[in-house]
Structure formats: structure tokens, C-alpha cells
Amino acid sequence: MHRLDPQKLPRHVAVIMDGNGRWAQKRLLNRVAGHEAGAESVRAVVRSCREIGIPYLTLYAFSKENWQRPRTEVEALWRLLKRFIRSELPELMEREIRVCHLGDAEGIPEDVLREVQNAVAQTASFRALTVNLALNYGGRHEIVRAARLLMEAVHHGTRRPEDLTPELFATYLFTADIPDPDLLIRTSGECRISNFLLWQLAYTELYITETLWPDFREEQFIEAVREYQRRERRFGKTGEQIRCEP
Ligand code: FPP
């Protein structure tokens, strides 16, 4: 029993899964063992979201900056991602979970990309939960890409500069059809956004925990959602205004 208020569930939870390396180091294991343990936490959090009834979950699995890690770690991460997507696909389908990709397809190793695209295609009709995998993703890059697409549309005469609004701009992002996150969880205590969903996090509640990602399982996830339910979201208004709204 998770005892969460069903009326105040976040629609979208985004996660910066940090601390795999430190988790491994503490156990005198190599960093890849930390990522492997982290994959277990991914499984646990996906299952929790599905059970609780949270419709969108976004996981920061591989950033544009992660390419700068040692080659062996980069290769191991992609291998793990490929293996994980392949092994989880039957359960995802059984539970009617849709997989989406946020980020650049270009640059992702071909065999991994095939696995991602297969999972996206096979689960496209499901809506019980949408899991967005941010792979080869960078927030600034996403915004520049949207600006470029808009400039091209203006150049071709399909858009006019005076039509541009925040809502229109958002339709050019990878997250075009996805509501902004209500809650961002970052594990392992760092207080940074790290180029994640820069546009979409404008009004998101931030939850930072010292727990390392491999130790972050269902209990810790529910505690994060419980903390979210204690917050008062004001969106620039006063507390009195919010409390008087119907
Ligand atoms: C950060 O920990 C984690 C990553 C860069 C990768 C996240 C990947 C996983 C959790 C693996 C599985 C993912 C999926 C979607 C199956 P870190 O290595 O930066 O930790 P550190 O800061 O302690 O070194």
C-alpha cells in the first residue's frame, strides 16, 4: 500500500539517475556494475509508475555529455541499454507501456538504435504509461534544434515570425505531445539540472535525494511522490489565490 492521494498524482515524473559510479566504488566494483544495478532501479520505478497510475515517466539514460566518458564505459552503457530494452520489451507490451525516444537518433550506435526503434514501434499504440528514454539527449541542443526547424518553416513560408508563442515553440521540441514534468527527481545529492529538459522544467517541483540511483527503488520513489503531494504549486500566483481556486 502506497497511501498516495489519487487526486494529486503527478502526471509526469522526470528522473536524473545519478550515482551509479559512486555506488559501485563504495563496493569496490567497477562503474559498469553500478550501471547494471541502476538498471534494476529503472525496472522498479517503471513498475511503480504503472501501478500508481502516473501516465508519463522520463529517464535521463544517456546525455550528449556522456560521450566524454572513457570509451569502455560508453560502450558498456550502450550494450546495457540495448540488452535492457530487448529483455524488457515483452513485459512492457504485456503492461501496455509505450516507449518513446527523446534525443538525436544520429550518433546512437546502429544496433542500439534498431532496438530502440523496434521498442518504440511495437509499443506505439499503448497508453497505460509512457516511458520516455532520453538517449543522446541535451536540453540546449533540443532548443536549438526546435529554433532551426522554426527558421526553416519561416524560410519556406509555412510559419510567420509573429505567430511564434511559447506554445507553438514547444511543438517543435522532442516532447511535443507530452505534458511538462510535474516532478523532477535527482538522486545522489547533486543540485544541478545538467542540461536536462531545460524548457520543460520551468515550473517543475524539484526533489533531490542523497540516495544513489541503484538504491532508489519503489519505496524511495513513493516517498518522492509523497513529498510532491505535500508541496503547494503556485505557478507565479499567491498561496491565497491557489487555495481559493475551485
Ligand atoms: C549516472 O551515474 C548514470 C548514468 C550516466 C547512466 C544512467 C544509466 C542507467 C541507470 C543504466 C540503465 C538505464 C536504463 C534506461 C536501462 P554516474 O555514473 O554519473 O554516477 P557517479 O556520479 O556516481 O559517477
Active-site residue flag, 66: yes
Instruction: Judge whether 32 lies within some domain.
Output: yes
Q: Looking at the predicted structure, is the pLDDT value of residue 237 above 90?
A: no
- 152, pLDDT greater than 80: yes
Q: Is residue 68 part of a domain?
A: yes
In angstroms, what is the span from residue 43 Cα to ligand 1's centroid? 14
Q: Please give the residue range of the domain that contains residue 20.
A: 9-138+180-237
- Residue 168 inside a domain? The answer is no
CB 74 within 8 A of CB 65: no
What is the structure's pLDDT at 36? 98
Residue 145: inside a domain: no
Task: List pLDDT tens digits, range 82-111.
Answer: 999 999 999 999 999 999 999 999 999 999
Beta carbons of 63 and 195 less than 8 angstroms apart: yes
Q: What is the pLDDT at residue 2?
A: 74
Q: Which residues are annotated as a binding site for substrate?
A: 19-23, 31, 35, 63-65, 67, 69, 186, 192-194
Q: Residue 1: which pLDDT band, with cuts at 50, 70 and 90? A: low
Q: Whose CA is nearest to atom 3 of ligand 1?
A: 18
Query: H or E segment at 143?
Result: helix 139-155
How much is the pLDDT for 197?
A: 98
Angle between helices 71-94 and 110-122 (to 10 degrees): 20
Of all protein residues, the one whose alpha carbon is nearest to atom 22 of ligand 1 is: 19
What CATH number did the domain enclosing 34 receive?
A: 3.40.1180.10
Partners of 102 in beta bridges? 134
Cβ neighbourhood burial of 206 (10 Å; 0-12, 13-18, 19+): middle
pLDDT in tens, 154-177: 999 999 999 999 999 999 999 999
Domain count, the chain: 1
Asked, for residue 143, whether it belongs to a domain, the answer is no
pLDDT of 153 higher than 70: yes
- Sign (positive or negative) of CA dihedral 133, 136, 139, 143: negative
Question: Percent of the chain at pLDDT above 90?
Answer: 93
Report residue 71 as a C-alpha cell: 570509451
CA angle 34, 80, 210 (to 5 degrees): 30
- The confidence score (pLDDT) of residue 174 equals 98
- Residues annotated as binding site for Mg(2+)? 18, 205
Vertex 233 angle, CA 127 and 138, to 5°: 60
Share of the chain above pLDDT 70, in %: 100
Residue 119 lies in a domain: yes
Out of 66, 180, 195, 215, which one is annotated catalytic? Answer: 66
Confidence of residue 213 (pLDDT cuts 50, 70, 90): very high
In a domain? residue 116:
yes
Decide: 47 and 2 in contact? Cβ < 8 Å.
no
User: Is residue 153 domain-resident?
Assistant: no
Query: Which residues lie below 8 Å from residue 51, measured CB to CB, with a gap of 6+?
Result: 2
